[in-house]
Amino acid sequence: MKIALAQLDYHVGNFEANAAKIIKAINEAKLSGVQLIAFSELAICGYPAWDFLEFDDFIAQCEKSIKTIASHCTGIAAIVGGPCRNPLKNGKNLYNSAWFLSEGTVQQMVHKTLLPTYDVFDEYRYFEPNTQFNCVDYLGQKIAVSICEDLWNLSEDPLYTKNPMDFLIKEHPDFAINIAASPFSFSHDASRMAVLRNNAKKYNIPFFYVNHTGAQTELIFDGASMVVHPDGSYLKMSFFEEEIRSFDLRKIKEGNFPQSDKQGKYELITQALIKGIQDYFSKMGFKKATLGLSGGIDSAVVFALAVKALGAEQVLPILLPSPYTSALSNNEAMTMVKLLGTAHKIIPIAKVMTSYSDLLNPHFEGLKSGLAEENLQARARGTILMAISNKLDYILLNTSNKSEMAVGYSTLYGDSIGAFSVLGDLYKTEVYELADYINKTWNNCIPELIISRAPSAELRPDQKDSDSLPDYSILDAILYQYIENRKGPDEIIQMGYDATTVHKILKLVNQSEYKRFQAPPILRVSDKAFGIGRRLPIVAKYLA
């Protein structure tokens, strides 16, 4: 049997485009002699569809698209992910299903059993868990079909009480196919590989695994679909690219595949962020991006990524110097503009600052100048950037990093604005490391002085980030333990960090939740990003 995995980039709710892409893949696979082709989880509607799944019309369009796809499955079978109505009154109204299509019609349904409700997942909100287990019979082969999370319950501390494969293996399947929507994080590929290898070894059959690629707002899907043999060897498809690859089942059962080199952390992150920017713009129908270019590391990295993703002609950096902006900042920002070959604008904000002061001085009389005046600069920049965005039809990219967002080191409606956050899931130390990788890969497009200089918001004379925050190496290490590892203050202090510093940082994190609640969507590249995967109350006393 010749089996194909179709790793495609879907668009949530774009039924016509999704169905056309699937049908094209089916027809091309049939011409090349493929007998079975598998598409990823909820491919027909895109993932995640969230509360669109509560609309009857949305489900009806899924069903209509499935029937259209099925009509093309003659001389070939297809496994397509999509929602399915639950015919019973008890339980949720839908299943998350794999539709087995052959001979022009729906032959069998396989429903997802394990419905994740952690981090970015909330599937039990919509779907009923499966309770019946049957393999699919096709061309003399028994196929154990499962859906994403159904393979992820083999850990020492299992989250669920059953493993679907324990039931399916009783029918002695010849191989397994898992269709998935597995979001990217820079450490996830290793975890996913371990899960697939453990399943292949435990059940002693080859596993075919097909994943989404592309991005859906903040979630990025890396593809990396693969076939895994019980001997631990594997054949892996591309990261972050659409690809359809066919496999000869007889050869797959022989195993002992040659292994390819692993990709590094920042290589994967760079590819993920570029794909995230590209898909956000293409799927929303946007073409042009703008950003405030300060001469600092964050805006420099966002600028480089935007140019790589969209092209120099589509990116407009704007320099917004104040009386406190150093000549170094202006010079290095302009150097980078020339290196990347984009147009640019320079809009000094001194007149706006003076106007604000004249307007507010009577109301601030007798009060010492401080944070309010500093924040007015950031908000003046934000207002100008949004005016350019509105007038010239550019989408504004946010340039904040995860460290700043964590402790609230940003100005609401100032530097926190933007339609889309590119670096919001990278700590400041990671931004520097990413900049180093970009320079090594893209011919030193970020001036070295931007990387080596001390970071500063430049909202007052001689200001440095270190005036308000610990060194970023210390700050980020504490933040990582609290945010990613969910460690409490005492546990972090026992790791050797200063108690006063730990308590101050954790207090800042929790007190800044209201700012993050208003943040733009953040491209997710870690295991615990701010946004849909981290849900904390704004009004809370814990550590605040």
Confidence class for position 465, pLDDT limits 50, 70, 90? confident
The dotted CATH code for 277-401+412-461 is 3.40.50.620
The per-residue pLDDT for 454 is 85
Confidence class for position 343, pLDDT limits 50, 70, 90? very high
The per-residue pLDDT for 503 is 97
The per-residue pLDDT for 342 is 98
Q: Which residues contact 190 (CB under 8 A, 6 or more apart)?
A: none
What are the tens digits of pLDDT across the range 283-338? 999 999 999 999 999 999 999 999 999 999 999 999 999 999 899 999 999 999 99
The dotted CATH code for 2-263 is 3.60.110.10
Give, in order, the Cα–Cα distances in Å from 174 to each of 107, 110, 112: 19, 17, 20
Question: Would the pLDDT of 376 be above 90?
Answer: yes
The per-residue pLDDT for 227 is 97
Residue 515 is among the residues annotated as catalytic for this protein: no
What are the tens digits of pLDDT across the range 239-263? 999 999 999 999 999 988 987 778 8
What are the tens digits of pLDDT across the range 302-317? 999 999 999 999 999 9
Give, in order, the Cα–Cα distances in Å from 444 to each of 87, 336, 341: 60, 10, 14
Nearest CA-CA partner of 292 in 340, 353, 345, 371: 345
What are the tens digits of pLDDT across the range 144-171? 999 999 999 998 899 999 999 999 999 9
Q: Considering 21, 41, 62, 73, which one is annotated as catalytic?
A: 41
Going from N- to C-terminal start, the domains of the chain cover 2-263, 277-401+412-461
CA distance 236 to 258: 10
How do 105-111 and 94-102 pair as beta strands?
antiparallel
Helices (H) and strands (E) in the chain, counts: 17, 19
Tell whether the torsion through CA atoms of 424, 425, 428 and 431 is positive or negative.
negative
Strand order in the sheet with 420-421: 345-346, 315-319, 289-292, 395-398, 420-421
Question: Would the pLDDT of 84 be above 80?
Answer: yes
Residue 112 is among the residues annotated as catalytic for this protein: yes
Q: Considering 30, 62, 84, 112, which one is annotated as catalytic?
A: 112
The per-residue pLDDT for 536 is 95
pTM here?
Answer: 0.96
The per-residue pLDDT for 30 is 97
Average pLDDT on 18-35 reads: 98
Confidence class for position 456, pLDDT limits 50, 70, 90? confident
Residue 103 is among the residues annotated as catalytic for this protein: no
Q: Considering 45, 135, 148, 445, which one is annotated as catalytic?
A: 148
